[in-house]
């Protein structure tokens, strides 16, 4: 795209014109930009960081999975001792581990840069703020750039919640980005928040040798997920983490020379304050909606920073769309990418809308926990009738073979139509297994469809078939449950 205003060039200001401007190059933003370009639009993608990919690729999903893989291998090797195979204490070269993680990220981000180039998507690096419903200004390293646009897609994401009163700025108080930087393996680390990030990063550092304490405000870990699915994880973490303090909160963090002194309050609070080398705060994320000058474009942003959209991902301003974390929970990359395609297609004149029956959630812990559709807790709270099929992995030959029989596969069905309405899995690779349930729900599969689908044996995925048989009463691997 050529600068349109040469008058501004001398002053370092360059005007550009695009059919579609995308603000933010995370999984939502780059997907929207690429899809719009593939549909024939002239696209400018604005990103403040050097690499494309946003939090997910650079400081989120991808690097955390690389580190979790290392953690699982360390733990798996230790567990083989019970089968007579010993590797001894692992020697951990933190620099190499960090470099390995960075190589994974670099490969993906470089791939994205190449894909942007191939599609002729122009990437502008800098911080963007709207100036009007058709103009956005970007503060780049080489000065301000003003871009005129026909349509814009806001994909500005979210950032970690900061707890007021905590000593922000102290390098020992970190968020998920700090945890992924892997600067050191702290001797003692406190994780604040028993949600997905807290549990995943706590798992990594525990396997690397840190003593982990975890504090969670709610009575259980991963609030929102069914307790029967969380229980096997909690049990395993009790052996890995030093303490799991549910129903407890941190009241104060005091900076001291020898560590961060933390004061607790609640049901499982320790008697005395504790001192840690590092404290990881993982208590959720807040949307970035208030940081983009949306008001200049007339886009409504609520007081928390979310931007409301319709099923076409359109904001209250007809030519401005929004996708990803900034439009609401769940803040997940796979939601953002699907929303992104809808926004790009609608701009290109296609009749797309975002209306999935469900968006699956996965905690990549050990064991993994994955769920989709309605949870059992939600069904009870909302008075939704359901029939349940529960298959314990203790009856799965494959789970026993890998020494991990603590898993559970649970399917929920509508009692009238017998269609699947929910699923939850805890166990090794639950995140891989949940995809089948999502497809079953989107396709309107019934209990018998899943039970009659020939699954390969012996696998963990056959536990879905067996859970459907449990609900149906046709199971033979276990005694069928008594009909109600
Ligand atoms: P979260 O909402 O998943 O969990 C935060 C936890 O912190 C909750 O359990 C909450 O009860 C607890 N909490 C809140 N305030 C607290 C306090 N003062 N003291 C103690 N506990 C407190 O948030 P997260 O783990 O920070 O993750 C942020 C977002 O990123 C989520 O939307 C999550 O879905 C997403 N994410 C997803 C994945 C994945 O899909 N695997 C991985 C990482 C992050």
Q: How far does residue 284's CA lie from ligand 1's centre (Å)?
A: 4
In tens, the pLDDT along 208-249 reads 999 999 999 999 999 999 999 999 999 999 999 999 999 999
Q: Could you confirm whether 312 is annotated as catalytic?
A: no
For ligand 1, atom 41, which residue shows the shortest CA distance?
Answer: 363
What is the atom index within ligand 1 of the atom nearest the CA of 361? 40
Whether 173-280 and 6-68+93-160+286-347 are alike in CATH topology: the answer is yes
Per-residue exposure over 322-343, b if at least 16 CB sit within 10 Å of its own CB, e if not:
bbbbbbbeebbbbbbbbbbbbb
The pLDDT of residue 482 is 76
Enter the tokens of residue 331: 């803040």
Torsion of CA 163, 299, 45, 341, to 10 degrees: 100
Structural contact between residues 241 and 204, judged by C-beta atoms closer than 8 angstroms = no
DSSP 53: S
For ligand 1, atom 3, which residue shows the shortest CA distance?
Answer: 195
The pLDDT of residue 6 is 35
Residues annotated within the binding site are 65, 193-200, 216, 284, 325, 331-334
Rounded distance between C-alpha atoms, residue 159 and residue 147, angstroms: 25
In sequence order, what are the residues at sequence separation of 6 or more whose Cβ sits closer than 8 angstroms to the Cβ of residue 195?
216, 221, 222, 223, 282, 283, 284
Residues annotated within the binding site for NAD(+) are 193-200, 216, 284
Q: Which fold has domain 361-472?
A: Enolase-like; domain 1 (3.30.390)
Sign of the Cα pseudo-torsion (222, 228, 229, 233, in order)? positive
Q: Residue with structure tokens 């030093």?
A: 242
Looking at domain 6-68+93-160+286-347, its CATH class is alpha beta
DSSP 325: G
The pLDDT of residue 9 is 35
SS3 of residue 65 by DSSP: helix
Structural contact between residues 369 and 225, judged by C-beta atoms closer than 8 angstroms = yes
Enter the tokens of residue 365: 């812990």
**Beta strand residue intervals within 126-242, DSSP E:** 127-132, 135-140, 143-154, 158-160, 173-174, 188-192, 211-215
For ligand 1, atom 44, which residue shows the shortest CA distance?
Answer: 197
The pLDDT of residue 257 is 94
Rounded distance between C-alpha atoms, residue 104 and residue 465, angstroms: 35
In tens, the pLDDT along 364-417 reads 999 999 999 999 999 999 999 999 999 999 999 999 999 999 999 999 999 999
DSSP codes of every residue in 160-189: E---TTS-TT-TTEE-HHHHHH-----SEE
In tens, the pLDDT along 421-456 reads 999 999 999 999 999 999 999 999 999 999 999 999
Going from the C-alpha of 26 to that of each of 33, 80, 116, 340, 387, the distances in angstroms are 10, 39, 13, 10, 39
Whether the predicted model's global pTM rises above the 0.85 cut: yes
Q: Which residues of the chain have pLDDT under 70?
A: 1-14, 483-484
Q: How far does residue 160's CA lie from ligand 1's centre (Å)?
A: 9
Count Cβ atoms within 10 A of the Cβ of residue 2 and give its class: 0-12 exposed, 13-18 middle, 19 or more buried. exposed
The pLDDT of residue 483 is 63
Residues annotated within the binding site for FAD are 65, 325, 331-334
Domain coordinates of the chain in residue numbers? Answer: 6-68+93-160+286-347, 173-280, 361-472
The pLDDT of residue 284 is 97
Q: Which fold has domain 173-280?
A: FAD/NAD(P)-binding domain (3.50.50)
Q: How far does residue 192's CA lie from ligand 1's centre (Å)?
A: 9
Q: How far does residue 216's CA lie from ligand 1's centre (Å)?
A: 10
The pLDDT of residue 8 is 40
Pocket of ligand 1 (CB under 6 A): 163, 192-198, 215-218, 223, 249-250, 282-285, 330-332, 362-364
Structural contact between residues 248 and 216, judged by C-beta atoms closer than 8 angstroms = yes
């Amino acid at each position: 795209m050529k600068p349109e205003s040469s008058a501004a060039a001398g002053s370092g200001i360059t005007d550009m014109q695009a059919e579609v401007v995308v603000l933010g190059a995370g999984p939502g933003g780059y997907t929207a930009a690429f899809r719009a370009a593939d549909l024939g639009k002239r696209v400018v993608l604005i990103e403040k960081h050097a690499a494309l990919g946003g939090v997910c690729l650079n400081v989120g999903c991808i690097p955390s999975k690389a580190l979790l893989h290392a953690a699982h291998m360390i733990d798996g090797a230790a567990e083989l001792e019970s089968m007579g195979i010993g590797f001894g204490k692992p020697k951990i070269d933190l620099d190499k581990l960090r470099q390995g993680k960075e190589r994974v990220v670099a490969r993906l981000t470089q791939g994205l840069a190449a894909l942007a180039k191939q599609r002729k998507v122009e990437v502008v690096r800098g911080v963007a703020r709207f100036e009007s419903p058709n103009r956005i200004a970007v503060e780049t390293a080489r000065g301000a750039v003003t871009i005129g646009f026909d349509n814009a897609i806001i994909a500005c994401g979210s950032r970690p919640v900061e707890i007021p009163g905590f000593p922000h700025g102290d390098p020992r108080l970190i968020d998920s980005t700090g945890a992924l930087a892997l600067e050191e393996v702290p001797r003692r680390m406190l994780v604040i928040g028993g949600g997905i990030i807290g549990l995943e990063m706590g798992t990594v550092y525990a396997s690397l040798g840190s003593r982990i304490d975890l504090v969670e405000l709610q009575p259980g870990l991963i609030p929102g997920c069914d307790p029967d699915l969380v229980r096997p994880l909690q049990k395993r973490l009790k052996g890995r983490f030093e303490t799991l303090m549910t129903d407890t909160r941190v009241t104060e963090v005091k900076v001291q020379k020898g560590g961060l002194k933390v004061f607790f309050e609640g049901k499982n609070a320790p008697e005395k304050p504790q001192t840690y080398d590092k404290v990881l705060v993982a208590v959720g994320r807040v949307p970035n909606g208030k940081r983009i000058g949306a008001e200049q474009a007339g886009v409504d942003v609520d007081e928390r920073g979310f931007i409301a959209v319709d099923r076409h991902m359109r904001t209250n301003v007809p030519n401005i769309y929004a996708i990803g974390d900034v439009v609401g929970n769940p803040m997940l990359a796979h939601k953002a990418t699907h929303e992104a395609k809808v926004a790009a297609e609608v701009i290109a004149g296609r009749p797309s809308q975002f209306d999935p029956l469900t968006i699956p959630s996965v905690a990549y812990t050990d064991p993994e926990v994955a769920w989709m559709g309605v949870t059992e807790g939600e069904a009870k709270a909302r008075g939704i009738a359901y029939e349940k099929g529960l298959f314990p992995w203790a009856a799965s030959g494959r789970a026993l073979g890998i020494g991990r029989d603590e898993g559970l596969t649970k399917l929920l069905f509508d009692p009238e139509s017998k269609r699947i309405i929910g699923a939850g899995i805890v166990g090794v690779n639950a995140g891989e297994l949940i995809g089948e349930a999502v497809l079953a729900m989107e396709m309107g599969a019934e209990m018998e469809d899943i039970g009659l689908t020939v699954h390969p044996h012996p696998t963990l995925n056959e536990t879905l078939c067996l859970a459907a048989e449990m609900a149906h009463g046709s199971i033979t691997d276990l005694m069928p449950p008594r009909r109600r």
